[in-house]
Structure 1
Amino acid sequence: MSINLQLETERLILRDFTKSDWQGVHSYASDPEVVQYLPFGPNSEEDTKNFLQREIKLQRQQPRQHFSLAVTLKDDKQLIGACRISVTNPDKQEGSIGYCFAKESWGQGYATEAVGKLLNFGFQQLNLHRIFATCNPKNVLSMRVLVKSGMRHEGYLQEYQWVKGEWRDSVLYAMLEREWIQMQIRNVE
């Protein structure tokens, strides 16, 4: 996959990050409410610039196995969040997804739309067999996004991550390629 990846949905453009995105990223990554369940943040300006530098460097990786993308509105190109898909185990054709959105964009279906596009990209372009996501069990909105996207609950991981000075549980969701294909068939009917 080349640099300058761009995926489109009905209302969104998911594209590779650029250095000029730092203020848009920082506006949500520094918001304590947005990052309360995430392993990072609230970000300082330096944290955000370091994040972007790291992600832009990973765009040049060959073969590329990590796709961290800015999520912008199609209409006005406003940056409203980020999403990512990573090939976590090439031998098992397994990948993971994640996302983070500015508070102002919550409840409008943008996260579900972006996750749907990541699943399509993962199964169609990256030839993955299984895609999973984890989230904090207190993050009810995120779990709802994963379920709406067609992913199924696979498990509960106790004290799975050391985050912000405490052990945190995680909920595991996943989808297999055959489940994704079945979902595409049902959507056509």
Structure 2
Amino acid sequence: MPPPAELRLPIETERLRLRDFRLEDAPAVHAYGADPEVTRYMPWGPNTPEETAAFIARALEQQATWPRLDLGLAIEHKALGVVVGSIALHLRDIPHRTLEMGYCLRRDLWGQGLVTEAGRALLRLGFEEFGLHRITAACDVRNTGSYRVMEKLGMRREGELRKDRQIRGAWRDTYLYAILAESWSPSPP
């Protein structure tokens, strides 16, 4: 799976701009990263200001390399002019052309289809630009909003891992989802 010669950013959708993080995004990133409801099912957070600063520093460092093993992008809401979340593709299996997608969004914007919009743009990037075979995603089984996004993207639930991760002192069950290049359609179902 040779990566494309370059990554053309930002990626524009109707309401969003998916772009590299900037140092000045730290306050907006911290606003959602420190929210206990946003991070409730995440293996990280709620973040301290120092953890947010470390995240931004890692993102800036990763952006300086190509190809990137982790493509983490800021989700900027065009009308608001501010970063409202993040979305990423994480390299999991080079020989089998498989990446894992993850995402996070500011709580006051939940339920508006923004993550689905951003996810559709990343699926297009993965399948059309990167030539991927498979994109996976996972979430806590209690995170109905997250697995509904995966289903809206055309991903199929492939399994449930019981008590596979210990997060904040408690074991959690995880749903696994995936979509193959042959099943993906650039237009919404």
- TM-score (norm: length of structure 2): 0.92
For residue 88 of structure 2, what is the aligned residue in structure 1? 84
Partners of 1:165 and 1:61 in 2: CA distance? 35
Contact 1:3-1:60 within 8 A present in 2 as well: no
One-letter amino acid of the structure 2 residue matched with residue 165 of structure 1 = G
For 1:30 and 1:76, locate their aligned partners in 2 and report how far apart those are by CA, in whole Å.
20
Q: Which residue of 2 aligns with 1:102?
A: 106
Alpha carbons of 1:34 and 1:114: their partners in 2 closer, same or farther (altered >3 Å)? same
After TM superposition, give the deviation of residue 188 of structure 1 in Å: 9.2
Q: Which structure carries more helix by proportion?
A: 1
Measured against aligned partners, the alpha-carbon deviations of 1:27-76 in whole angstroms (never above 9, x if no partner) come to 00000011000010000000000011111111122322211111011223
- Give the aligned partner of residue 71 of structure 2: 67
How many residues align structurally? 185
Change (3 A) 1:4 1:128: closer
Q: Is the 8 A contact 2:19 2:73 kept in 1?
A: yes
When normalised by structure 1's length, the TM-score is 0.92
For the 8 Å contact 2:153–2:188, the answer to whether it is kept is no
For 1:22, the equivalent position in structure 2 comes to 26
Amino acid of the residue matched to residue 31 of structure 1?
A: D
The DSSP-based 3-state class of the residue aligned with 2:89 is strand
Equivalent position SS for 1:32: coil
- Of 47-56 and 67-76, deviating more is 67-76
For 1:54 and 1:80, locate their aligned partners in 2 and report how far apart those are by CA, in whole Å. Answer: 18
Q: Which runs of 5+ in 2 are unaligned?
A: none
Q: Secondary structure at the match of 2:46?
A: coil
Q: Does 1:163 align with 2:171?
A: no
Do the aligned residues in 2 keep the contact of 1:13 with 1:71 (CA within 8 Å)? yes
For 2:26 and 2:63, locate their aligned partners in 1 and report how far apart those are by CA, in whole Å. Answer: 16
Which residue number corresponds to residue 130 of structure 1? 134
Whether the 8 Å CA contact 1:3–1:59 is kept in 2: the answer is no
Cα distance in 1 for partners of 2:18, 2:26 equals 16
Matching of residues 137-148 of structure 1 within 5 Å: 137-148=141-152
Which residue identity is paired with 1:74?
A: K
How far, CA to CA, are the matches of 1:83 and 1:160 in structure 2? 23
Letter of the aligned partner of 1:57 in structure 2? E
Counting only pairs closer than 5 Å after superposition, residues 103-118 of structure 1 correspond to structure 2 as 103-118=107-122
Q: Is the 8 A contact 1:3 1:16 kept in 2?
A: no
Quote the residue 1:11 is aligned against. Answer: 15
